[in-house]
Amino acid sequence: MADNVQIVLNAFETLFNKRDYAAAERFWSPNYIQHSAHIPPGREGLFGLIKGAPQALHYENGLTVARATTSSSTAGLAA
């Protein structure tokens, strides 16, 4: 589970703080589904949001939760 948490933290650091879009592509699928109505659909919508955000905007982790089930490990973020 700790590996999944680190993957999520690396993904957010890569996209939101480093703004390394080429590297972030390995974390977000081309088929990524965006569930926020105010963000355009897909990976490109998410990346576009960050490209348009002020450089001073940075992600700071508040809580990362990993849970194991009988069939798989998943990582998620909780607000």
pLDDT, tens only, 10-54: 998 999 999 999 999 999 999 999 888 999 999 999 999 999 999
**What residue ranges do the domains of the chain occupy?**
2-77
Radius of gyration in angstroms for the set of CA atoms belonging to the chain, rounded to a whole number: 13
Q: Contact, 20 vs 29, CB < 8 A?
A: no
- 46's CB contacts (< 8 A; 6+ apart) are 15, 28, 32, 34, 39
Q: What is the mean pLDDT of the segment spanning 2-13?
A: 85
Which pTM was predicted?
0.76
pLDDT given at position 5? 81
pLDDT given at position 19? 96
